[in-house]
Amino acid sequence: MSAPASPDAASGAAPETLLLGQILDFTADPFSSPPEDSARHLSRGGIVLRGGRITEIGPAARLIESHASARRVDYGAALLLPGFVDAHAHYPQTGIIASWGKRLIDWLEGYTFPEESRFGDALYAATIAGRYLDLAIANGTTTIASFCTSHPESVTAFFQAAQARGMAVVGGKVAMDRNAPDALKDTPERAYDESKALLQRWHKQGRARYAITPRFTPTSTEAQLEAMGALWAEHPDCAMQTHLSEQVEEIAWVKELCPEAEDYLATYEKHRLIGPGALFGHAIHLTDRERARLAESGSAVVHCPTSNTFIGSGVFDAAGLVAGGVEVGLATDTGGGSSFSMLRTMGAAYEISQLNGAVLHPAHLLWLATTGSAKALRMEAEVGTLAPGSAADIIAVDLASTPAIAQRAARARDIWEALFPTMMMGDDRAVKAVWVNGVSRR
Ligand code: GUN
Ligand code: ZN
C-alpha cells in the first residue's frame, strides 16, 4: 500500500493554504472610531484558507508553526486585503466606457441604450460578462452588484460568468417600460414575470444573489414600479437596486413625470422600494427629508465618484451622509464611471470629499471599498472582510507598483501613509494576486 500524499489526504480534510504578507484587518468602523486605530496591522502576517473559507489570521511566525503542512504562498511586503466590493456597476456598459462629451440623459440615449440593446444576443452577453469579470478580477474586485439589461439573457450570462469564476455577485434584470428604445422596453407584467423567474433560478444559488432592478423613475411607469415593489415584498431577502438624484436635469424630469411626488425618493417609497437591502446609486442632490428617510428606513446609498466627475453629476456628501446614519457603499458605476479599478475609485472619492470640505482618511476609503460596500449589500458576513468564517476572497496589493508610487511610499511612517499613494495613483498593476473563494485567479 502506498503512503498517503499528505496529512490532509490521510485525514480527508480539505488542503490548507497559508498566505503570507502584510495584513490590514479592520477591528472597528473607522467612521465611528479614530480611523488610524480602526484596523490591526501585521507587518508580517498570515491567513489560513481551507475549502474556500478563511479559517485563521494572525502573525506569520505563529501560523507557519501551527500549520506546517499548509501550502505556503509568500507575497513578501505586499499587503493582503479582502477583495474589493463594487456596490454598483453596469457590466453591459463595458464596451462603451469612456464615451465622450455627454451628460446623463444624452449619454444614456446616445451611448448606453444602443449598446444595451445588443444584450438579447446570449453570445454577445456572455462575451461581455466574461470580459467584464476578468477586468474586475484583474483590478482586485471580487464582488460586484451589477445591473444587467432588460434582456433575461443578460442576467443568465452574468450569473454564469460569475459562477465560472467562483465569484459572489449581485445582479438583476433591468426593468424599464418607458422613455427607452423598443429593443429595451418591457412592460410591468413582463418585468415582474421575468424578474421572478430569474430570481427563482439564481438567488442564493451558490454565491449568486438577485437584485430587483428598476432602472430609475424616468424609465419605469408607476405600474412597473408597483410591480417591482410587490415582487420585492414577496422576496425581501433579495436586494433592490436603482438610481436616485444623480443629476439636476434628471431630478427636474422626475418632477415633470411625477408632479404630485414630494421629492425623487418619494416616487420609490410610494411603491415600497425603500428599506433594508435597497441600494440607491449616486444620491447626490438630496433634500433633508430624503436624507432622513434613507437613514431611518435602513436603505443604502452607493457613491460612484469617477462617474460623478465623468458625467458631471455633482459632489456627493460621503461624510455628511454617514454622520446622518445612512449606510454608504462605494462603486465604479462602470461604464458611466471611467475606471474598472476600486483603487482609482477610492482616489476619486478622496478628491470629491475634498471638494466638499471633508478629509477622508485612507481607513475610511478602504472601509468603503470593502466592509462598507459589503454591509450595503448585506453580505458583510461573507465578503469585504478577513474575519475567520468569511469567504477566502483575498488580494495582495503591491504598495510600490510604479516608480512614482514606490518613491512616495518609501517615505511612509505608517501603513496608512504607505497605502495612500496606491489609492491615489494605483491601478491594476498594483494588484499582484487575487484569490476568489480560495482559488488563485491572478
Ligand atoms: N441612471 C439611469 N441609468 C443609468 C446608468 O446606466 N448609468 C448612470 N450613471 N446613471 C443612470
Ligand atoms: Zn448606475
What does the domain layout of the chain look like in residue ranges?
Answer: 16-83+386-440, 84-376
Distance 90 CA to ligand 2 centre (A): 6
Give me the chain's average pLDDT, please: 96
The residues pairing with 89 across neighbouring beta strands, listed in sequence order, are 146
Tell me what pLDDT residue 11 has: 59
**Residue 4 pLDDT grade (very low, low, confident, very high; cuts 50, 70, 90):** very low
Query: Average pLDDT, stretch 86-108?
Result: 98
Is the predicted pLDDT of residue 1 greater than 60, yes or no?
Answer: no
Nearest-atom number in ligand 1 for the CA of 219 is 2
Residue 36 per-residue DSSP state: G
Spatial CA neighbour of 155 closest among 134, 131, 168, 173: 173
Tell me what pLDDT residue 244 has: 98
- pLDDT per residue over 295-349, tens digit each? 999 999 999 999 999 999 999 999 999 999 999 999 999 999 999 999 999 999 9
**Residue 3 pLDDT grade (very low, low, confident, very high; cuts 50, 70, 90):** very low
Tell the CATH superfamily of the 16-83+386-440 domain. Urease, subunit C, domain 1 (2.30.40.10)
- C-alpha–C-alpha distance, residues 87 and 384, integer Å: 11
**177 and 191 Cβ atoms separated by less than 8 Å:** yes
- C-alpha–C-alpha distance, residues 134 and 132, integer Å: 5
Query: Average pLDDT, stretch 405-429?
Result: 98
Distance in Å from the first CA to the final CA of the chain: 38
Tell me what pLDDT residue 49 has: 98
CATH class as words, domain 84-376: alpha beta
Query: Average pLDDT, stretch 75-91?
Result: 98
Is the predicted pLDDT of residue 10 greater than 60, yes or no?
Answer: no
Cis peptide before 335 (omega within 30 of 0): yes
Q: State the cell numbers at 330.
A: 462605494
The residues pairing with 245 across neighbouring beta strands, listed in sequence order, are none
User: In testing the pocket of ligand 1, which one of 216, 250, 257, 316 has its CB within 8 Å of the most ligand atoms?
Assistant: 216
Q: Which amino acid is at 102?
A: K
Tell me what pLDDT residue 5 has: 41
Beta strand ranges found along 95-201 (DSSP E): 141-147, 168-172, 174-175
User: In testing the pocket of ligand 1, which one of 112, 179, 307 has its CB within 8 Å of the most ligand atoms?
Assistant: 112
Tell me what pLDDT residue 415 has: 98
- C-alpha–C-alpha distance, residues 433 and 79, integer Å: 10
Ligand 1 atom 3, closest CA: 215
> Residue 373: phi, psi to the nearest 5?
-65, -40
> Residue 422: phi, psi to the nearest 5?
-70, -35
Positive or negative, the Cα torsion across 54, 329, 80, 359? negative
In a 13 Å sphere around the CA of 237, the CA atoms on its Cβ side amount to 7
**Residue 6 pLDDT grade (very low, low, confident, very high; cuts 50, 70, 90):** very low
Calculate what percentage of the chain has a pLDDT beyond 90.
97
Query: Average pLDDT, stretch 366-385?
Result: 98
Distance 306 CA to ligand 2 centre (A): 12
User: CA separation (Å) from 435 to 144, 360, 420, 438?
Assistant: 15, 28, 23, 6
> Residue 81: phi, psi to the nearest 5?
-135, 165
216 Cβ below 6 A of ligand 1: yes
Distance 328 CA to ligand 1 centre (A): 18
Nearest-atom number in ligand 1 for the CA of 337 is 9
Is the predicted pLDDT of residue 12 greater than 70, yes or no?
Answer: no
Q: State the cell numbers at 244.
A: 436616485
